[in-house]
Every structure is written in C-alpha cells, then in structure tokens.
Structure 1
Amino acid sequence: MITITKTFTTQAVQTQPNETQYYDVQAASFLQEVIESLQDGILILTKTGELIHANTSARHILAQLNKNDSYSSVVPTAIWNLCKSLLENKNSFPEESIVLSNEIALDKATVFRVRVRWLNVDQLHHSCFLITIENRYESLKNIALTEIKKYDLTPREAEIWCLYRAKFSYKEIANQLYITINTVKKHMKNIHAKRHSSDQ
C-alpha cells in the first residue's frame, strides 16, 4: 500500500508540471495577444527607466510624443516625471496602492491620458512601472461613432458630433468644417432633438 501511494504520488508529480507548463505557455500567448490588440498603449519600465515592454499602440504613441515617425524606445520626460513622482509617493506610503495620472496634449485633437502604477511581478524578481496611455480623442471618437449610429445622424451631423464630443467649441467646429456658427447651432439642435427622441 505504501508503494502504491508512492508510485501514484510520483506519477502525479511527473505529469502535473507538463500540463502546468502547457497551460502557462498557452496563457502567456493569449495574454500577449490581448495586450497587443488593446487600443491603449501599455508600457512596462524598470524603476531606472529601462523599457521592458511596449505594445503596438504604445510604440505608435511614443513615436508621436517623441515627434518621430519611427518607433522610439525613449520614454518622454512627462511620463518619466510621473514615474519618479510615483516612486517618491511609494516610498512615503509603502502599503498604499497608488495610481498617478496626467494628460499630455500635443494639440486640441491629440491628448493622451497617462496612468502610472506600481507592478510587483514575482517572475521578474523586481518591481516595475505599469503605464497605460489612452488617446483621449480616439476614445471620444469611438463613443461618438456609437452615438452616431444610435441617433441615426446624417454625415454632416456626424462630423459635427465627433468634434463636439472631442471638446471643440462651436466656433472651432465652424472653423474646422468651413461653416458658420449658426449652421453648427442648427445641426446641434437637430442632434439634440434626435438624442432626446431616441432616449425616450
């Protein structure tokens, strides 16, 4: 009986790591695909500022922030300053889970919301920064596109609504679309009427 138990235990120990390794590889591959497909940029940095990982969106955003068409591994100063601030706060409040955020505006239509948090990963044997970068205009544009379908807006109303959702003023919308402010107001009145009737 003792021999059978030992044999059973030995067999379980021999087969279990293979299954675990298979699921670990499968999970890692799945996680990589999810991270790469995200619209938001994901950066992982060491506490000295070395780039460990950047997904496709993050590489594109870094190129925009660094004013370079090609991928750059240079972390912009605005992001690194946020990381350093988090590190200072982490030392002051070691037990707290702190997330710092800030916005970086390149122009009216290109605003990035940056969030930095501390990430403890056992496999790396050290802590690092997890940075998410959201393109505010793209997020608002996606919301606006959903609303355009929901409210059945005309093509011109759709253009105006996208700019309005991106926080453009009526005057800025008029200038952008080469129309008068009164035309913008007329379209916005129609849009609000459609929204009101759709929500009832």
Structure 2
Amino acid sequence: MNTPAIQPDFRSLYEISSNFSVTGQEGSKKNLEARFLAELHQEFIDGILVFAERGELIYSNKNACTILGRLHQDDPGGALVPEEIVHICQSLTQSRVQFPHQNWLVELDIVTQDGAILHIRARWLNTNLIERPCLLLVLEDRQQAIASIVMEEAHQYGLTSREREVWVLHRNDLTYKQIAVELGITPHTVKKHMKNIHSKQKDYTVDISDFATSYPC
C-alpha cells in the first residue's frame, strides 16, 4: 500500500466537505449528528481540525482559525492550512502505513514568532459519522487557555481588579519581583496581594467542601 499523499487544502477552514455525505433515513440521522457535533465543537476553547485520509480538510471550528492565525502572522484569519500542520499529517499517515496495528498519538509544542506556545495533539480517529478513518488535530493556545482558567478563578475567588492582574502574572510563572516591575508596584505589595488571593482561594475551597458535604450525591 502506497502512502496517501497529503496535500495542503487552501479552502476556507470553515468549509465542511460534502464528500462523505450519506443518503436515506440513516444518512439523515448521521448528518444531523454531524451538524450537532459541529455546533458543539464551535464552543470549544481548543481548535479542532479533521482531515480525510488523503489530506482533504473536512471540518474545523472557529478557534482553529484563530489559533492558526497565531502560527502565521501573514494569514491572521487562519484561512490556509500551514505547512507545519501538513507535515504532522504526513508523519501520522506514514506511521499508519509502517505500523498498521498501532494507533499513534503525536503531541508537540510549536513556539510562534511572537512567543505564543501552540500545543498540538494529533491521532487517527474512527467514527461512524464517516466511512473512512480521519486525522484529528486538537490545537491549544497555551496562553489563551491559561488566561481563560485564570479569569474563571478570579471570578470564583472574588478577586479585585488589581488582585486579578497579580494572579494572571503569577499563573504565568512570573516571580514576585517580575510582577512588581510589570505592574509598577513593590514586591512587598505583590506579596500582600498574593496573601489576600490565597486567603480568598482557601475560603472558596472551604465553601465548596461544605456544600458538597451538605448536599451529597
């Protein structure tokens, strides 16, 4: 068996291929399921790309376009499939040919020109929604993911605007001195804010624990 050629597909990433459509009552059910999953995936923080065996892009969500725009600054809308993504697809296709009884999972980080870290997970996916196996790539903008988590934590803990700024930098692994320089305050003030944050974090954890005890499953 020859290795299928993976060619970059320069269509819009929003386009979903009709090559895998099916007919009849069962087909309508599968198409409905596919549309439901497509709508659901649009809400994911992670970017999602799905490629057919020979490299045709058959699905993506909006966040994939945004994340791929970070990878290539000259294509901010993420309208093109970057060569890096094509290379990952080629590698997985080759591994499937050489090791047909194994299912490989590839994980790697790409550091972009502006210092963003894009984490990519890729593997072969078998689903009853389409007839042939396909390649699933999950893209994560690490900074964006951390920012989303931190904003949720800030809301849960009830942090002030200044505490939120300190917490964001702390969660990005900055030292107290670096946070102080970034915000134009003293390290002592940073330490004071962190003490308040940890106190609110502890209170939130206690409240959650008390709630779970009061309302057991």
Q: Larger relative CO (CA 8 A, sep 6+): 1 or 2?
A: 2
- Unaligned residue ranges in structure 2 (runs of 5+): 1-22, 207-217
- Per the TM alignment, residue 144 of structure 1 is displaced from its structure 2 partner at its CA by 1.6
SS at match of 2:149: helix
Q: Determine whether 1:75 maps to 2:82.
A: yes
2:199 to 174, 189, 193: 193
Please report the TM-score for the alignment, with normalisation by the length of structure 1: 0.75
- Per the TM alignment, residue 86 of structure 1 is displaced from its structure 2 partner at its CA by 2.9
What do the CA deviations read for 1:153-182 (whole angstroms, capped 9, x no partner)? 111111111222233333443333232333
Question: What is aligned with 1:62?
Answer: 68
Q: 1:74 to 1:192 in 2, by over 3 A?
A: same
Query: What is the aligned length?
Result: 182
- Per the TM alignment, residue 131 of structure 1 is displaced from its structure 2 partner at its CA by 0.4
Contact 2:123 2:135 in 1 (8 A): yes
Question: What is aligned with 1:45?
Answer: 51
Question: What is aligned with 1:159?
Answer: 165
Contact 1:140 1:165 in 2 (8 A): yes
- Unaligned residue ranges in structure 1 (runs of 5+): 1-16
Q: Which amino acid aligns with 2:29?
A: Y
Please report the TM-score for the alignment, with normalisation by the length of structure 2: 0.70
Q: Determine whether 1:116 maps to 2:122.
A: yes
Larger radius of gyration: 1
Q: Determine whether 1:24 maps to 2:23.
A: no
Q: Determine whether 1:169 maps to 2:178.
A: no
Contact 2:34 2:129 in 1 (8 A): no
Question: CA separation in 2, counterparts of 1:100 and 1:168?
Answer: 30
Q: Report the RMSD for the aligned CA atoms in angstroms.
A: 2.7
Question: CA separation in 2, counterparts of 1:53 and 1:189?
Answer: 46
Q: Which amino acid aligns with 1:75?
A: P
SS at match of 1:69: coil
- Per the TM alignment, residue 21 of structure 1 is displaced from its structure 2 partner at its CA by 4.2
What do the CA deviations read for 1:41-68 (whole angstroms, capped 9, x no partner)? 1112345544333221111211221113
Question: What is aligned with 1:87?
Answer: 93
Q: Which amino acid aligns with 1:154?
A: T
2:42 to 36, 39, 42: 36
Q: 1:83 to 1:25 in 2, by over 3 A?
A: closer
